[in-house]
Structure 1
Amino acid sequence: MIKTLLGQVKEYKKVSLIVPVLVTLEVVLDIIIPLIMALLIDQGIEKGDMNKILYYGGILVALAIVALIFGALSGRYAAIASSGLAKNLRKTLFGHIQELSFANIDKFSNSSLITRMTTDVTNVQNAYQMIIRILIRSPLMFIFSLMMAFRINSTLAMTFLYIIPILAIGLFLMIRFAFPVFDRVFKMYDRLNKVVQENLQGIRVVKSFVREDHEKEKFEDVSEDMFKNFSLAQRIVATNGPLMQFSMNAAMLLISWVGAKLVVTSQMSTGELVSMFTYVGQILISLNMLSMVFVMMMISRTSARRITEVLNEESTLTNLENPVMEIPDGSVSFENVNFSYVGRDEKNVLRDINFRIEPGEVVGIIGGTGSAKSTLVQLIPRLYDVTCGAVKVGGRDVREYDIEALRDAVAMVLQQNVLFSGTIKENLRWGNSEATDKEIERVAKIAQADSFIQELPDKYETVLTQGGTNVSGGQKQRLTIARALLKKPKILIMDDSTSAVDTKTDYFIRSGLKEEIPGTTTFIIAQRISSIQDADKIIVLEKGQINGIGTHEELMQTNEIYQEVQASQQKGFGQHEEG
């Protein structure tokens, strides 16, 4: 875990190494200052020697200024190093997530990944800054101050030997009981983010069903659980403060009592006693800071583990050593394909799938809810890998192709239409970043999107909000179809992508596809038979198995499920016309 995180320091290694050097120099000066102060008191102030006072006073001022400069520089460089680590971590995390397969991402919720890239990275950043600065400064200050205290008076310095075990036991107990609580807290952060994310994404549904109170209650429940656990963790950690304060007060009282006797009996000078108090303060402050570092490390340990879980996750989809880069054509065949999301045969959602599609054919897929229609087409561009059997494109197993080359040859219009914040033109150019304005307008016309775009104030420069919430469902579908057409793919997959448009528009879109991409193999998942009845082949799925394959006319003669769907839709259409 530590090796993985330190590997992200990268270009900030030099800055990270400078910080301990500056901190060490600062500590050395802080240790020298009390010695000069003792000389100022004993040889200057007590003897009334103004020259000594000015001499030692000047040295003190110079040392304090230089120590301040070293301290400021160490703080600045520590901030740069920790911020750089956080930047690299976020960049690496985000990049790694892009490389993961759907199966990998399914292991982590979206809210959890967001928490890991934000809250967890910030915790690691804060811990790293404290480690390279405070964790270096505190032990050095403690050791050097203790050495100087023994040098001045070993009897007084022995006081610390009674206090250190008390602090160590308190710190151990704090870590022992607080760490499991912090572990629970970060899981609750995931839950809280999930509730917020779901609410904001589905805010229209929440309001339409008048479920605001229910959502508030969900949020308050998670927030209350987080409050209770975080309060418990903070109460455990807070015991460190009183314990440290008690130790400091006890040490001061003992040193004051013993030190006063030593001064009265001339066994110790006033300047040495003042220096001893300074060193005592430095020792106790260093112990206090050390305990704070341990608390921060305890919190960040959970965060670090959660970050490395993602970084160490290996994609279930990988390229061969020498993958095939060219996809010859859009032919598709499924050979004895089984698929399970959990990788076990007894949990298969697709079973015994066998069919072959020639380049340029239009294939309709129909079936009831849960028949695995979307799952089937997601195997073609390797969004998932088959559990058993083979999916072939262009006569080759899809696992033999370079993943990017394969997916570049396949355009998908997903069931859940996703648009990104930016202009309409920028969204369409996801299909082809080099597309000209004329090409964009042409595919928009084929997708029946140009008409509504022209009615917008800024036309193709109209800015879409996140998720495309400022356009209707049917408009989103037409935009995503246009985006897919810009890829000029060998295979086009339309996953129920015209469900929100009327039958007339649906017909125009299908007619436009035939003219625009006649050589492209097209898969159309649909609920309406009218959307697929002109297809070269229609696949009927039932419970993850093929119930029938054929043309519309053939299935109307041989397939009961297809006949029932057709009859129910014709009946519904007739009733609608009658009304």
Structure 2
Amino acid sequence: MIKLFRYLEKFKWLIFFTLLFMFVQAISELYLPTLMSEIVNNGMMKGDTVFIWKYGGYMLLVAGASSISSIIGAFLSSRTAVGFGTLLRDKVFTKVEGFSLNEFDKIGTASLITRTTNDITQIQTVLVMMMRFMIYAPIMCIGGIIMAYSKDKHLTLVLAFVLPLFVVTIALLAAKVVPLFKALQKKLDKVNQILRENLIGIRVIRAFNRVETERKRFYEANKDLTDTAIKVNKILAMMQPIMILLMNLTNITIIWVAAKRIDANKLQIGDMMAFIQYAMQILFSIIMVSIMFVMVPRAQASAERINEVLEIEPEIKDPKEPKTPKISKGHIEFRNVTFRYPGAESPALENISFEAKPGEVTAIIGGTGSGKSTILNLIMRFYDVESGSILIDGVDIRDMSQKELRSKIGYVPQTVVLFSGTIKDNIRYGKEDATDEEIMRAAEIAQATEFILNMKDGFDSLVSQGGTNLSGGQKQRLSIARALVKKPQIYMFDDSFSALDFKTDAKLRSELKKETSNSTVLIVAQRVATIMDADKIIVLDEGKIVGMGKHEELLRTCEVYREIVSSQLSEEEIA
């Protein structure tokens, strides 16, 4: 957790004033029992009303100073903790944005969400407690012992026996709680993971009648979390009655010993009352510290998880001195590229070489798992190649900044992702400063205008989270419009026409051809009809290029391509 405290530099003045006001509160509260003992000894016992009023006024002023200091200290500590939490969330989010897909897979989406929310909240809570108690509790404890000793050193022997008993009791309870706190965060991750899977996959769950199975899976994970939380809280619940019992026994012992000393005329009643208050202050300060130390292990577990994210060095980084192509056209070249996914035995792509030129449509086709989408992922540098190189306009993409690289690309993913907001917002996601005319033009080319205008508010119609209020084809067309409005040098369509009917597909490709006549176009497709007219078709099989050329040429020379074509088209269509 100490590693994270380096981010507190921004809040150093808030922390300073928090500690200052906590110091004033502690000193004020330590002075109150002494004033009270003066009132009892020199005012009440002697019947001096003037003295009582005078010292009573002092007590009110000191109590007021203590209360004001407490309020200001609480406000400043809360503000510091909230600001620190905000900064941490921003750091984690920014760091995660720079992760490659491999790093996302390592940690897991559910765990990243827990770390950004629950874990940071745990640290915020402990930070407030630390700022409130790190000065206040030690001063109250040490100051209380000194003040108690000044009242009667013989009574202090009672504290010498009680304090170690307090510390040992707290240590035993903490030893049981610490491992449970660490387990609690992992079990919370599991519940979040199952919940997220269920919310995203609700259609599949219902389609396969697995609602009860998923309910049982969630129930088991939730029960496991609940059982651990109950176990933790049972141990913590034991602390309060044990502490109260020890405090009451301490009170009884002090009064019993003090009564004998008062009877022997060795102690005054006011001093006894002050001593009892100092004893309670000492014990309360130990309880405060104990609560903080019980909470710290949970926050420490959370801090380790946050540090794990912040300390990950992204595999994919921008070069120190990024290169910019002298001529920017969008020419793509693969040179003997080999790539394997982390942990995979065999390469997903092996010795891949080809060119995709501006003004041409390059199509990629092949069976499931042949590496089609992987090629697009490598071009966008979601992963880095194992060997070989990918060049855009003669510059290796690893020598370019990621921002510049991706600014050249308009990407339409295989799985459509839409964001909550309006249709206009979703299309404008491709280009922030796109005008209404550009948005409408992109929608028109993507064959989306008709269904958009049929919606209640047209382009201002709301898209629900994930686009659940749209059909698959509608979402696909909006995704295409989002790429078109960007007007990039390179268009990449990852099986982006599969949800369209043949008529819409044909019209869309016809309009696309006009719009992208000067751009490099890469199309990954399953349907032969989508890519028959491409200038170049690359046929993949098990990560290798087994054919490259135009449709007619591949029908003659490539057996894999002939098998794909014959499985989709009739003899008349092939002829």
What is residue 84 of structure 1 aligned with on the other side? 83
**Deviation, structure 1 residue 89:** 1.0
Matched residue type, 2:461: T
Relative to 1, partners in 2 of residues 1:188 and 1:560: Cα closer, same or farther, differing over 3 Å?
Answer: same
What is residue 338 of structure 1 aligned with on the other side? 338
Between 526-535 and 156-165, report the one with greater CA deviation.
156-165
Contact 1:167 1:243 in 2 (8 A): no
Contact 2:163 2:283 in 1 (8 A): no
* 1:155 partner SS: coil
Cα RMSD after superposing both structures: 1.7
Q: Any unmatched runs of 5+ in structure 1? A: 575-579
CA distance in 1, matches of 2:307, 2:497: 42
- 1:313 and 2:309 equivalent? no
Q: Any unmatched runs of 5+ in structure 2? A: none
**Deviation, structure 1 residue 263:** 0.8
* 2:314 partner SS: coil
* 1:154 partner SS: coil
Q: How does 1:149-548 map to 2 (within 5 A)?
A: 149-326=148-325, 328-342=328-342, 346-548=345-547
Matched residue type, 1:468: G
CA distance in 2, matches of 1:434, 1:530: 35
* 1:501 partner SS: coil
Q: How does 1:12-51 map to 2 (within 5 A)?
A: 12-51=11-50
Relative to 1, partners in 2 of residues 1:572 and 1:500: Cα closer, same or farther, differing over 3 Å?
Answer: farther
Superposed CA deviations along residues 26-63 of structure 1, whole A, max 9, x for unmatched, are 11010111001001001111111111111111111111
Matched residue type, 1:69: I
Q: Where has structure 1 moved over 4 Å in runs of 4 or more?
A: 571-574
* 1:379 partner SS: helix
Please, what TM-score do these two structures have when normalized by structure 2?
A: 0.96
**Deviation, structure 1 residue 7:** 2.9
CA distance in 1, matches of 2:248, 2:457: 71
CA distance in 1, matches of 2:164, 2:372: 67
Relative to 1, partners in 2 of residues 1:573 and 1:242: Cα closer, same or farther, differing over 3 Å?
Answer: farther
Matched residue type, 2:331: S
Contact 1:42 1:271 in 2 (8 A): yes
**Deviation, structure 1 residue 518:** 0.7
CA distance in 2, matches of 1:533, 1:557: 14
* 1:434 partner SS: coil
CA distance in 2, matches of 1:380, 1:286: 61
Contact 1:343 1:387 in 2 (8 A): no
What is the number of equivalent residue pairs in this alignment? 572
**Deviation, structure 1 residue 569:** 0.9
Matched residue type, 2:160: L
**Deviation, structure 1 residue 347:** 4.3
**Deviation, structure 1 residue 176:** 3.0
CA distance in 2, matches of 1:184, 1:547: 51
Relative to 1, partners in 2 of residues 1:401 and 1:264: Cα closer, same or farther, differing over 3 Å?
Answer: same
Relative to 1, partners in 2 of residues 1:532 and 1:432: Cα closer, same or farther, differing over 3 Å?
Answer: same
**Deviation, structure 1 residue 243:** 3.6
Contact 1:9 1:88 in 2 (8 A): no
* 2:68 partner SS: helix
- 1:549 and 2:545 equivalent? no
Superposed CA deviations along residues 323-361 of structure 1, whole A, max 9, x for unmatched, are 0245722211111211122177x4422212122222222
CA distance in 2, matches of 1:571, 1:221: 52
CA distance in 1, matches of 2:121, 2:135: 21
Contact 1:86 1:121 in 2 (8 A): yes
CA distance in 1, matches of 2:340, 2:566: 33
Contact 2:178 2:294 in 1 (8 A): no
Between 175-184 and 540-549, report the one with greater CA deviation.
175-184
CA distance in 2, matches of 1:459, 1:533: 35
What is residue 577 of structure 1 aligned with on the other side? none
* 1:492 partner SS: strand
* 1:412 partner SS: strand
- 1:94 and 2:93 equivalent? yes
CA distance in 1, matches of 2:178, 2:571: 61
Superposed CA deviations along residues 302-335 of structure 1, whole A, max 9, x for unmatched, are 1111111111112111111110245722211111
CA distance in 2, matches of 1:184, 1:546: 49
**Deviation, structure 1 residue 390:** 0.8
**Deviation, structure 1 residue 568:** 1.2
Between 443-452 and 328-337, report the one with greater CA deviation.
328-337
**Deviation, structure 1 residue 10:** 4.5
Contact 1:414 1:494 in 2 (8 A): yes
Matched residue type, 1:408: S
Relative to 1, partners in 2 of residues 1:337 and 1:170: Cα closer, same or farther, differing over 3 Å?
Answer: farther
Superposed CA deviations along residues 132-177 of structure 1, whole A, max 9, x for unmatched, are 1122211110010011011111111122222232333333333333
Contact 2:35 2:55 in 1 (8 A): yes
Between 210-219 and 301-310, report the one with greater CA deviation.
210-219
**Deviation, structure 1 residue 572:** 11
* 2:569 partner SS: helix
Please, what TM-score do these two structures have when normalized by structure 1?
A: 0.96
**Deviation, structure 1 residue 555:** 1.3
* 2:389 partner SS: strand
**Deviation, structure 1 residue 488:** 1.1
Superposed CA deviations along residues 57-113 of structure 1, whole A, max 9, x for unmatched, are 111111111111111111111111111111111122112211222222221211111
